[in-house]
């Protein structure tokens, strides 16, 4: 399926299939291991991507005024306390005039006790820095995963949501399946949501657009 970006001053959030995601330009990779300074968990670029968000929290901030963006992928096993505070400050300082952004990830899994607290802290702090923030909070699928790409050129997020519960892993292709994938979803007034190429409006899924 070919994605033609609609003419709009709003950011676009596309929930896409594996085939579509694989065909998109990649940009700079956001790592999460924090083992190599040359592979950062925060990337400032006009195009970036990351893979394999499970218990982690990922997303990004963007500025329309300065035409710049930064993406992140925070591993719940490595970031908490003062280290998390410093990392968030670094992200916010990269895009001090952020007017849009996205936060996605986390799970309620035994042995991953910091997953949900990390997500909630990141969301809370980024909400202070950016009033227009869409988020996809806490995966309900134990074997669910998130990959995303962002392009500043057309101000678009491309998100691949995969349920790996069975051998035949499948991606989210309908609003109903999207609602079943996360505990909470909020699409900010500054953003538009598309699932498998079709725009989803407040009339279609009012719970996605309800102010929280």
45 falls within a domain: yes
57 falls within a domain: yes
State yes or no: pLDDT of 69 exceeds 90.
yes
Count of domains in the chain?
A: 1
73 falls within a domain: yes
Give yes or no for a contact between 54 and 119, defined as CB atoms under 8 angstroms apart. Answer: no
Q: In what order do the strands lie in the sheet with 42-44?
A: 42-44, 68-74, 57-63, 100-107, 133-139, 182-186
Strand partners, 44: 70
68 falls within a domain: yes
> What's the domain range around 191?
11-208
Strand partners, 121: none
pTM, two decimals, is: 0.93
**CA separation, residue 171 to residues 17, 104, 163, 167 (Å):** 6, 16, 6, 13
55 falls within a domain: yes
> Which pLDDT tens digit goes with each residue over 165-188?
887 789 999 999 999 999 999 999
178 falls within a domain: yes
1 falls within a domain: no
Q: How far apart are alpha carbons 41 and 60 in whole angstroms?
A: 11
What average pLDDT does the structure give for the chain?
93
> Which pLDDT tens digit goes with each residue over 6-18?
444 589 999 999 9
71 falls within a domain: yes
């Amino acid at each position: 399926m070919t994605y033609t970006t609609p003419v709009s001053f709003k950011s676009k959030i596309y929930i896409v299939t594996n085939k579509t995601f694989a065909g998109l330009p990649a940009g700079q990779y956001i790592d999460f291991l924090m083992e190599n300074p040359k592979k950062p968990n925060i990337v400032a670029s006009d195009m970036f991507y990351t893979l394999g968000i499970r218990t982690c929290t990922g997303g990004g901030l963007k500025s329309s005024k300065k035409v710049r963006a930064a993406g992140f992928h925070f591993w719940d096993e490595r970031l908490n306390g003062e280290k998390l505070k410093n990392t968030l400050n670094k992200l916010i300082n990269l895009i001090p005039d952020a007017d849009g952004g996205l936060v996605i990830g986390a799970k309620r899994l035994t042995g991953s006790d910091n997953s949900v607290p990390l997500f909630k802290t990141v969301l809370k702090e980024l909400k202070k820095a950016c009033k227009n923030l869409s988020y996809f909070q806490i995966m309900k699928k134990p074997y669910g995963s998130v990959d995303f790409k962002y392009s500043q050129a057309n101000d678009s997020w491309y998100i691949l949501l995969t349920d790996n519960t069975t051998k035949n892993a499948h991606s989210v292709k309908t609003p109903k399946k999207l609602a079943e994938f996360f505990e909470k979803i909020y699409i900010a007034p500054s953003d538009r949501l598309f699932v498998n190429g079709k725009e989803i409006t407040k009339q279609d899924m009012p719970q996605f657009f309800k102010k929280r």
